Structure 1
Amino acid sequence: MVSKLALPLWFLIVNAVIFQAIWFLAILFGDSLVLLVVPFLLALNFYCLLRIYGQQVYLRNELLLVALCLLIGFFVELIKLQLGVWSAVVLNNVPPFWLMAIWAGFGITLHSSLSFLQGKVVLPAVLGLILAPASYFAGAKLSASHELAGFQSLFIIAALWFFVMPLLAYIAKQLPVQKTEGSQC
């Protein structure tokens, strides 16, 4: 069995920049046509993975991870909508596209810039507890149309991400991005 290759630093930086670009586009422009850039940014990330791993990449696992991240994100955002985390009224009580774009962007980081979380429970839980509320708080401050309902919203976000981050790290570990010797497609 071949050990997992370390991703090149340039890709870790590109991956983090792609996620941050998606985050800023979603926060600043909401459900506008600007979100049409997101699939191209995701495709750029997949292209870079193919360039690094060549035929040794499980691209379907990367796509599945993003899809699972979107699915989990959809339910997490539904819970937050039901608990009144956002003060702005969201049409039809369905998570907006801009939030789901952020979840898709987050999904591409789980095998790349956040891969160090795989195989751990405490670290992702603590990071989810601290960084997720900070991210939502920053996003609410930058967005002209969406704001948190109150300080209690940050506690709800922290509690949800305390469980979500380890779950996503676990799922990422179960879906390897690199083929090993003797593995089948």
Structure 2
Amino acid sequence: MDTKDKRLEEYIHPEGMEVKMKAGWINGRGVVLILMVVIIGSWLFNYIWGKGSAFDSGHQLGYAIKYIGIVCILFGFAGYILIQYAVLYYFSGRDRHALQWKMDQGTWRFLLVKPMALKYYRVALLLPFLVMGLLPMLHGFCMGNPLVYYFGGYCLICSSNDFWYFLKLRSFKDEDKIVDGKRSFNATIIKETY
């Protein structure tokens, strides 16, 4: 009986400051990012690595959307979920009950039930954005590999929500604790005593 009560006390947290982001705002930024990365990115990629004609640019854009896009989205999403789960699982003290799967507002992610230091949560937000998005996109662009370039671009778009959320959480200190709310991109920040 004592162990059960002790375990429940771990997950009870005092009231803190709530941080919320609207899904419409995030999705609006995502549409702009899609236009920039896919359309302008394919034209720029084709101009530098291709022949530079209008036909080649349109062909490259159609190829990116039809063939590469579906494969990149599926593998990118699976990799994003696995990286996010692995990082949050490791930083939560390897407690799988501290994570909860949530699907809402067009986002699928793991939410924290147990308080975690904000510096670790920020790493979990930025790691998929950098490792699966920005770095492969830059590598593919510099090496002239369209598959790696578009894979990085699509992963960059998929993880852009976490990047906007990271920017929102920058104003808090690293020692503060964070617990996710019942919805994605809603959290409670528990301030540490200074």
TM-score range, shorter chain: 0.3 to 0.5
Provide the TM-score with structure 1 as the length reference: 0.33
Higher strand share: 2
Query: Which of 1 and 2 has higher RCO (CA within 8 Å, sep 6+)?
Result: 1
Provide the TM-score with structure 2 as the length reference: 0.32
Between Structure 1 and Structure 2, whose CA radius of gyration is higher? 2
Higher helix share: 1
